[in-house]
Amino acid sequence: MSNSQFYSKKVMEHFLKPRNYGRIENADAVGKVGDPSCGDVMWLYLKIKEKNGKYVIEEAKFETFGCAAAIASSSVATEIIKGKTIEEALKVSNKDILKELGGLPLVKVHCSLLAEDAIREAIYNFMRKKGLQIPEELEKRHEKIKARLDKTLEMHKKLGYVTGEN
Amino acid sequence: MRIKVNGAEKIYFDYNATTPTDPRVAKVMMEYFTENFGNPSSIHSIGKRAREAVENARLEVMKLMHARESDGKLIFTSGATEANNIILKGLAMKAWKEEKNHLIISSIEHSCIMNSAKWLEKQGFKVTYLRVDKYGIVDLEQLENSITKKTFLVSIMHANNEIGTIEPIREASKICHDNNVLFHTDAAQSFGKIKVDVNELGVDFLTVSAHKMYGPKGIGALWIREGISIEPLIHGGGHEYGIRSGTENVPGIIGFGYACKLRMKEMHEEEKRLTLFRDHIIKTVTETIPESYLNGHPVKRLPNNVNIRFNFIEGEALVLLLDEMYGIQVSSGSACASHKPEPSHVLMAIGLRPEEAVGSIRISMGKWTTEEDVEYLLEVLPKAVKRLRDISPFKGKWEV
Ligand SMILES: Cc1ncc(COP(=O)(O)O)c(C=O)c1O
Ligand code: FES
Residue A166 has pLDDT above 70, yes or no: no
Q: Within this chain, do residues B11 and B31 fall inside the same structural domain, yes or no? A: no
Q: Tell me if B314 and A67 make a contact (CB, 8 A cut-off).
A: yes
Query: What share of chain A has pLDDT > 70, as a percent?
Result: 93
Nearest ligand for residue B339 CA: 2
Please give the tally of structural domains in chain B.
2
Q: Within this chain, do residues B256 and B287 fall inside the same structural domain, yes or no? A: no
pLDDT of residue B66: 98
Query: What share of chain B has pLDDT > 90, as a percent?
Result: 89
Which residue segment(s) compose the domain that B360 sits in? Answer: 2-20+267-390
| Other residues' Cβ atoms within 10 Å of the Cβ of residue A59 | 16
What's the CA gap between A146 and A148, in Å, rounded?
5
Q: Bridge-partner residues for B11, per DSSP? A: B2, B328
Domain boundary among B238, B262, B286: B262
Number of inter-chain CB pairs under 8 A, A vs B: 94
In chain B, the DSSP E strands lie at 2-5, 8-12, 72-77, 102-106, 126-130, 151-155, 183-186, 205-209, 220-225, 292-294, 305-310, 328-329, 331-332, 360-364, 394-397
Q: What is the rounded average pLDDT of the residues B288-293?
A: 94
Residue A164 in domain:
no
pTM for the whole structure: 0.92
Residue A87 in domain:
yes
Residue A127 in domain:
yes
pLDDT of residue B335: 45
pLDDT of residue B342: 72
Mutate to test the pocket of ligand 1, among B87, B110, B249 (most ligand atoms within 8 A of CB): B110
**What confidence tier does A4 reach under pLDDT thresholds 50, 70, 90?**
low
Q: What is the rounded average pLDDT of the residues B232-259?
A: 96
What residues contact residue B122 under an 8 Å CB cut-off, 6+ apart? none
Sequence letter at residue B243? I
Q: Within this chain, do residues B307 and B222 fall inside the same structural domain, yes or no? A: no
Domain boundary among B262, B277, B308: B262
Domain boundary among B243, B262, B281: B262
Q: Is B396 exposed, middle or buried (0-12, 13-18, 19+ CB in 10 A)?
A: middle
Q: Tell me if A18 and B391 make a contact (CB, 8 A cut-off).
A: yes
In B6-85, the DSSP E strands lie at 8-12, 72-77
Q: Within this chain, do residues B240 and B363 fall inside the same structural domain, yes or no? A: no
Query: In the predicted model, what is the mean pLDDT of chain A?
Result: 92
Q: What is the pLDDT of residues B99-158, one digit of tens each?
A: 999 999 999 999 999 999 999 999 999 999 999 999 999 999 999 999 999 999 999 999
Could you give the 3-state DSSP secondary structure of residue B58? helix
- Beta carbon of A127 within 6 Å of any ligand 2 atom: no
Residue B399 in domain:
no
Mutation pick from A6, A7, A19, A38 vs chain B, by most beta carbons of B within 10 Å, is: A38
Residue B167 has pLDDT above 80, yes or no: yes
Q: Within this chain, do residues B242 and B336 fall inside the same structural domain, yes or no? A: no
pLDDT of residue A157: 76
pLDDT of residue A111: 94
Mutation pick from A40, A43, A156, A161 vs chain B, by most beta carbons of B within 10 Å, is: A161
Q: Which of A39-48, B118-127, B229-238, B389-398 is least confident?
A: B389-398
Give the number of the atom of ligand 1 that is nearest the alpha carbon of residue B160.
Answer: 1
State whether residue B6 sits within 8 Å of chain A by CB.
Answer: no
Q: Within this chain, do residues B125 and B9 fall inside the same structural domain, yes or no? A: no
Query: In the predicted model, what is the mean pLDDT of chain B?
Result: 95
Q: What's the full length of chain A, in residues?
A: 166
What residues contact residue A67 under an 8 Å CB cut-off, 6+ apart? A38, A40, A108, A111, B314, B316, B317, B341
DSSP type of residue B75: E
Residue B399 has pLDDT above 80, yes or no: no
Phi, psi of A70 (to 5 degrees): -70, -40
CATH of the domain at A77: 3.90.1010.10
Q: Is B33 exposed, middle or buried (0-12, 13-18, 19+ CB in 10 A)?
A: exposed
Q: Which of A42, A65, A155 sits opposite B314 (nearest CB)?
A: A65
Q: Within this chain, do residues B144 and B179 fall inside the same structural domain, yes or no? A: yes
Portion 371-390 of B in contact with A at CB < 8 A: 390
Q: What is the rounded average pLDDT of the residues B350-378?
A: 94
Q: What is the pLDDT of residues A96-143, one digit of tens each?
A: 999 999 999 998 999 999 999 999 999 999 999 999 999 999 999 999
Residue A4 in domain:
no
